[in-house]
Chains A and B, each alone.
Chain A
Amino acid sequence: MATPTSAHTTVGRYIGQSVKRREDPRLLTGHGRYVDDDKPAGTMHVAFVRSNVARGTITHLDVSAARALPGVEAVYTGDDLNPTIQQMWASMTGPPIEMGGQSPYPPANVLAPGDVRYVGDPIAIVIAESRYIAEDAADLVEVEIDALPAVLGMRAAAASSELVHRETESNVSAAMPTPEVPELDALFDNAAHLITRTFGGARASNVPMEPRGLIVHSDRYRGEMFIRAATQSVHEMKSFAARLIGIPESHIRVVADDVGGGFGQKMAVMREEAAVIAAAHKYGRAPVKWIEDRRENLISSNQARSEEGTLTFAIDGEGHILGCRAEFIEEIGAYPPVSSPTAALAIGVMTGPYKIPVLLPGCSAVYTNTVGKSAYRGPWALETIFREQMMDICARELGIDPIEFRRINLIQPDDLPYTTATQMVLDHITPKETLDQATEMIDVGGFRAEQAAAKADGRVLGLGVATYVEPSAIAFGVFNSDPAVITMDLSGKVQVRLGTGSHGHSIETTIAQVVATHLGCDIDDVAIIQGDTATAPLGPGTGGSRTAVAAGGAAQTASIQLKDKLLQIAAHLMEASADDLEVENSVVSVRGTPQAAVHFSQLAMTAHMAPDLLPPGVGPGLEVVARYRPPSEFTWSNAAHACTVELDPETGVVRFLRYVVSEDCGQMINPMVVEGQIAGGVAQGIGGVLFENLAYDDHGNPLATTFLDYLLPSAPEMPDFEYGHVESMSATLGGYKGMGEGGAIVSPPAVANAINDALAQLGVPPLTQFPFDPNTIVAAINAAR
């Protein structure tokens, strides 16, 4: 089947081209350099002793047998390390409220402070000659815990006087109540249709294939700390480590080479990483390595998507949405990297690509005795996941086709720029065009006929559509801008240093495309350096769908400024006007007079070796330091997804027939990479609906501690993805928009809507609580019989 793709706007030689990745040869042959691949001489290995109880008081803790085991260098408990902790907060969310900041944080400790607060809570840390010995020693640590009833379930926890953290007054870490606006009561009370539903996500985890890990060498003789880590942001780890143990940031160097995925998990520094930093600093004699194993990753890294939203839509007789009440509650576990609700951001984009003039939002975040919540690809996704399911439910209640209901309410091209109910100004977006493209590609009419014919044969098919607008390229706080430093060497080739932290994003390829295009050289003449605080400029790392916009903008700015300087020098040497010059393949020539030409290398030799030959006012050297701040806090991107499924009513198994994505990320730098990001995001979204569930039992025991219980999507369950692209330029330099997270944000409701469309064939009311696993589906079918 054809995949319609709009003609790419090819800017120059590389931008817009599916350039093959330069990262691949090393990764395909086993020559990547992930954190566990590095073995500095004398490295010691860490194992944690963890709680097997969700909540309780430690009544006995004896590490003497562990310390006595040959090969063990040190065993530290909370009493040893917690007093060494100075501050624990993330640059992204700023200092805690007690320090004058705006974000709440859980109590600052790295090991259990006399009591345990979730299963997996680290109690002690062992440092030994090998991981095998470290784990042997961990088994020798005697721990007795007086168990208490676990505080579980976000609504119960919010109401409970039993506290997850004794240091707090309530399990509700932060709350923003739904505003009472009496003058708007009539709008809701008098609406032709007033529909309320509650939606729930399934607790998921990011599950990068490479778990967390770091090597920390606190060199007391140099007064320096060297960290190699699996992180999305080396600069954040440096800042965090400095604040944690109270040494100057300038004395810490953090390096990350290849990083095996993150999806948000490796953005904020988490508690075990902090414990390793503190332990290595106290130990101080050799590098200390901790590589998280998969069980630790599943029980102790982070959770996400344990969220509920209750939405009320007021709709008029013609299907126009008049207003929305939205109340979100999020479970943040015991020790999240920050304790504020992510819905506080989601609320801002709750109305999505629709004209919903009134929004009354509220949200809260609740501690429970489970693993802490952290960002997961589209941390604000709950607004789209719940709203897009609500759109289908409302359409069904009104007797309108869900696609038509969306069209009635969609922001049209003529409406732009459109100011939302939350005062966000949406512009340079294409919700209509992407919905049109997605529905054409999936062939709604053809599918409906196929669906009817299948029904006659006893088969159950369903179609789901979802649309959204994404606040990509977040540009505020520490994320406000990105740096790029470009240096041309004597041979006329460039090195570009970035503040990014690629962990699968193809940045070495895509940013080189940007630089080569704007500088006018071969892509092989561009080297990209990132992931080392000693060489890379201070930047926030990679996350928030912002690298193309922010780092791309910075690299583009630096390239253009460097080219300007090269042209000035060339004009002087050739006695021509800079305006008459053009650049092609690193050669500057006079337009129309190709014999008057000079190669970048000659200009570079002049700049570096013969500064007296430079034009007046032009200094020596060829280096540009640039920083790009996008024109607004968000750069909006958008997409529409459409998928079709077949549902087996006997087994509850859902099989994909087709999956179509139409998206607009502005000027694509590398369409192959764009489509790769979409595919991976959609697979994660599908997993979150059908398979993934980081469940706990009634005592707070995690039930998914291996990949046999935490079910990731595997190849047989995934469809071929079909892509359509609409390229409307954003207002950013280069016209780029972020798109790394979108696939994961809008696929869950598209899949949910397809399943509910199939269930409707059987007269089964819509499911609203993920996961939609086979048991849930069969139970719903049986209940409706």
Chain B
Amino acid sequence: MSETIGQISVTVTVNGRRRTVTCEPRKLLSDVLREDLNLTGTHVGCEHGACGACTVLLDGAAVRSCLLFAVQLDGSDITTVEGIANDDGSLNDVQQAMQDNHGLQCGFCTPGVVVSLTAFLRDNPSPTDDQIREAISGNLCRCTGYHGIVNAARQACGRPEGAR
């Protein structure tokens, strides 16, 4: 880290690319991603860590980017929703299941849901329904009633009742 007047330089790996940004210490990771790195897929829905729209992977763990300062993260590895799809650009299993099961409507909470579910199913490949609902309890959605999201998770972990 190097310091200029009121600004701190941070180097992070974002979606596989090394990125260096210089920002105020108070700047939130969500704002740095959106404003400094032009990764606007990470959405800010509450700025108090409750809605989950800003969820990203930090060294593999799903975290709220609105509750982190960018300057905390020098040397970290971050994956945003823009880095979730397959390498060829096609939708990953969670994303495809979300489309197949109408797991999104307005799409604003969707990046956080996709990131949370991708991390959850990576760690829990065969969850129960209750575990699925608990896993996305930190992602607020106002459009779907969670019906399509839960069905998407069922499909993504290979359970036949998930598919329409």
A residues lining the B interface (CB < 8 Å): 18, 20-21, 23-25, 27-32, 34, 36-37, 39, 132, 207-211, 258-261, 263, 293-294, 503-506, 672-673, 675-676, 679-684, 706-708, 712-716, 718, 720-721
Is there an interface contact between B108 and A210, defined as CB atoms closer than 8 Å? yes
Is there an interface contact between B82 and A680, defined as CB atoms closer than 8 Å? no
B101-112 CB mask vs A (1 if < 8 Å, else 0) is: 010111111110
Question: Which among A32, A672, A673 has the highest number of chain B CB atoms within 10 Å?
Answer: A32
Q: How far is the CB of B160 from chain A (nearest CB, A)?
A: 15
Question: Which among B35, B110, B136, B145 has the highest number of chain A CB atoms within 10 Å?
Answer: B145
Please give me the residue from chain B that is nearest to A721 by CB atom.
B147
Verify if B57 is at the interface (C-beta below 8 Å from A): no
**Chain A residues whose C-beta falls within 8 Å of the C-beta of B84 in the assembled complex:** 29-30
Is there an interface contact between B41 and A706, defined as CB atoms closer than 8 Å? no
Is there an interface contact between B142 and A29, defined as CB atoms closer than 8 Å? no
Is there an interface contact between A24 and B146, defined as CB atoms closer than 8 Å? no
Verify if B78 is at the interface (C-beta below 8 Å from A): no
**Chain A residues whose C-beta falls within 8 Å of the C-beta of B85 in the assembled complex:** 29
Question: What are 5 A-B contacts with C-beta separation under 8 Å?
Answer: A27-B104, A504-B105, A676-B144, A682-B145, A708-B48
5 other A-B residue contacts (CB within 8 Å) besides A29-B91, A673-B102, A712-B140: A28-B91, A209-B45, A259-B106, A679-B147, A714-B139
Of the candidates A260, A675, A706, the one whose C-beta lies within 8 Å of that of B107 is A260
Of the candidates A505, A675, A683, the one whose C-beta lies within 8 Å of that of B102 is A675
Q: How far is the CB of B89 from chain A (nearest CB, A)?
A: 8
**Chain A residues whose C-beta falls within 8 Å of the C-beta of B62 in the assembled complex:** none
Verify if B22 is at the interface (C-beta below 8 Å from A): no
Q: How far is the CB of A47 from chain B (nearest CB, A)?
A: 13
Is there an interface contact between B136 and A715, defined as CB atoms closer than 8 Å? yes
**Chain B residues whose C-beta falls within 8 Å of the C-beta of A28 in the assembled complex:** 81, 91, 95, 98-99, 104, 107, 110, 114
B133-157 CB mask vs A (1 if < 8 Å, else 0) is: 1101111111111111110000000
Supposing A31-B82, A504-B107 touch, asked if A715 and B150 sit within 8 A by C-beta, the answer is: yes
Please give me the residue from chain A that is nearest to B144 by CB atom.
A680
CA distance A395 to B9 in the complex (A): 70
CA distance A682 to B144 in the complex (A): 9
CA distance A716 to B141 in the complex (A): 12
Question: Which among B85, B102, B109 has the highest number of chain A CB atoms within 10 Å?
Answer: B102
**Chain A residues whose C-beta falls within 8 Å of the C-beta of B137 in the assembled complex:** 714-716
Is there an interface contact between B82 and A209, defined as CB atoms closer than 8 Å? no
Of the candidates A29, A260, A707, A716, the one whose C-beta lies within 8 Å of that of B46 is A707
Q: How far is the CB of A179 from chain B (nearest CB, A)?
A: 39
Please give me the residue from chain B that is nearest to A20 by CB atom.
B99
Verify if B18 is at the interface (C-beta below 8 Å from A): no
CA distance A23 to B108 in the complex (A): 12
Please give me the residue from chain A that is nearest to B84 by CB atom.
A29
Of the candidates B43, B53, B102, B145, the one whose C-beta lies within 8 Å of that of A718 is B145
Supposing A209-B109, A679-B145, A721-B145 touch, asked if A30 and B48 sit within 8 A by C-beta, the answer is: no
Of the candidates B39, B47, B148, the one whose C-beta lies within 8 Å of that of A676 is B148
Supposing A210-B108, A676-B105 touch, asked if A29 and B43 sit within 8 A by C-beta, the answer is: no
Q: How far is the CB of A195 from chain B (nearest CB, A)?
A: 34
Supposing A29-B95, A679-B144 touch, asked if A24 and B104 sit within 8 A by C-beta, the answer is: yes
Verify if B77 is at the interface (C-beta below 8 Å from A): no
Is there an interface contact between B147 and A294, defined as CB atoms closer than 8 Å? no
Of the candidates A25, A211, A721, the one whose C-beta lies within 8 Å of that of B99 is A25
CB contacts under 8 Å to A, within B38-88, are 39-48, 50-51, 53, 80-82, 84-85
Please give me the residue from chain A that is nearest to B23 by CB atom.
A132
Q: How far is the CB of A751 from chain B (nearest CB, A)?
A: 13
Q: How far is the CB of A554 from chain B (nearest CB, A)?
A: 23
Please give me the residue from chain A that is nearest to B138 by CB atom.
A714
Question: Which among B35, B40, B98, B106 has the highest number of chain A CB atoms within 10 Å?
Answer: B106
Is there an interface contact between A294 and B99, defined as CB atoms closer than 8 Å? no
CA distance A323 to B44 in the complex (A): 51
CA distance A30 to B104 in the complex (A): 13
Supposing A30-B82, A209-B53, A712-B140 touch, asked if A680 and B145 sit within 8 A by C-beta, the answer is: yes
Q: How far is the CB of A171 from chain B (nearest CB, A)?
A: 32
Verify if B122 is at the interface (C-beta below 8 Å from A): no
Is there an interface contact between B82 and A208, defined as CB atoms closer than 8 Å? no
**Chain B residues whose C-beta falls within 8 Å of the C-beta of A716 in the assembled complex:** 130, 133-134, 137
Is there an interface contact between B108 and A718, defined as CB atoms closer than 8 Å? no
Please give me the residue from chain B that is nearest to A705 by CB atom.
B48
Q: How far is the CB of B146 from chain A (nearest CB, A)?
A: 4
Please give me the residue from chain B that is nearest to A262 by CB atom.
B106
Is there an interface contact between A504 and B145, defined as CB atoms closer than 8 Å? no
**Chain A residues whose C-beta falls within 8 Å of the C-beta of B35 in the assembled complex:** 39
Please give me the residue from chain B that is nearest to A670 by CB atom.
B102
Supposing A23-B107, A504-B105 touch, asked if A30 and B40 sit within 8 A by C-beta, the answer is: yes
Is there an interface contact between A260 and B108, defined as CB atoms closer than 8 Å? yes
Is there an interface contact between A34 and B43, defined as CB atoms closer than 8 Å? yes
**Chain B residues whose C-beta falls within 8 Å of the C-beta of A721 in the assembled complex:** 145, 147
Is there an interface contact between A706 and B50, defined as CB atoms closer than 8 Å? yes
Which are the 3 A-B pairs with shortest beta-carbon distances?
A30-B41, A260-B108, A27-B107
Please give me the residue from chain B that is nearest to A30 by CB atom.
B41
Is there an interface contact between B46 and A706, defined as CB atoms closer than 8 Å? yes
**Chain A residues whose C-beta falls within 8 Å of the C-beta of B111 in the assembled complex:** 30
Is there an interface contact between A294 and B164, defined as CB atoms closer than 8 Å? no
CB contacts under 8 Å to A, within B103-134, are 104-111, 114, 130, 132-134
Is there an interface contact between A207 and B146, defined as CB atoms closer than 8 Å? no
Verify if B27 is at the interface (C-beta below 8 Å from A): yes
CA distance A713 to B34 in the complex (A): 28
**Chain B residues whose C-beta falls within 8 Å of the C-beta of A706 in the assembled complex:** 46, 48, 50
Is there an interface contact between A27 and B150, defined as CB atoms closer than 8 Å? no
**Chain A residues whose C-beta falls within 8 Å of the C-beta of B164 in the assembled complex:** 18, 672
**Chain B residues whose C-beta falls within 8 Å of the C-beta of A23 in the assembled complex:** 107
Is there an interface contact between A132 and B150, defined as CB atoms closer than 8 Å? no
Is there an interface contact between A30 and B81, defined as CB atoms closer than 8 Å? yes
Is there an interface contact between B48 and A32, defined as CB atoms closer than 8 Å? no
Please give me the residue from chain B that is nearest to A747 by CB atom.
B145
Is there an interface contact between A683 and B146, defined as CB atoms closer than 8 Å? yes
Please give me the residue from chain B that is nearest to A743 by CB atom.
B145
**Chain A residues whose C-beta falls within 8 Å of the C-beta of B82 in the assembled complex:** 29-31
**Chain A residues whose C-beta falls within 8 Å of the C-beta of B53 in the assembled complex:** 209
CA distance A317 to B146 in the complex (A): 45
CA distance A680 to B149 in the complex (A): 11
Is there an interface contact between A21 and B99, defined as CB atoms closer than 8 Å? yes
Supposing A34-B108, A132-B26 touch, asked if A20 and B100 sit within 8 A by C-beta, the answer is: yes
Is there an interface contact between A504 and B106, defined as CB atoms closer than 8 Å? yes
Supposing A29-B82, A209-B141, A716-B130 touch, asked if A503 and B40 sit within 8 A by C-beta, the answer is: no
**Chain B residues whose C-beta falls within 8 Å of the C-beta of A208 in the assembled complex:** 106, 108, 142
Please give me the residue from chain B that is nearest to A208 by CB atom.
B142
CA distance A131 to B103 in the complex (A): 32
Please give me the residue from chain A that is nearest to B45 by CB atom.
A209
**Chain B residues whose C-beta falls within 8 Å of the C-beta of A506 in the assembled complex:** 105
CA distance A478 to B91 in the complex (A): 41
Is there an interface contact between A24 and B99, defined as CB atoms closer than 8 Å? yes
Supposing A25-B91, A132-B27, A680-B105 touch, asked if A209 and B142 sit within 8 A by C-beta, the answer is: yes
Q: How far is the CB of B31 from chain A (nearest CB, A)?
A: 8
Is there an interface contact between B114 and A37, defined as CB atoms closer than 8 Å? no
**Chain B residues whose C-beta falls within 8 Å of the C-beta of A261 in the assembled complex:** 105-106, 108, 142-143
**Chain A residues whose C-beta falls within 8 Å of the C-beta of B110 in the assembled complex:** 27-28
Is there an interface contact between A503 and B145, defined as CB atoms closer than 8 Å? no
CA distance A706 to B102 in the complex (A): 28
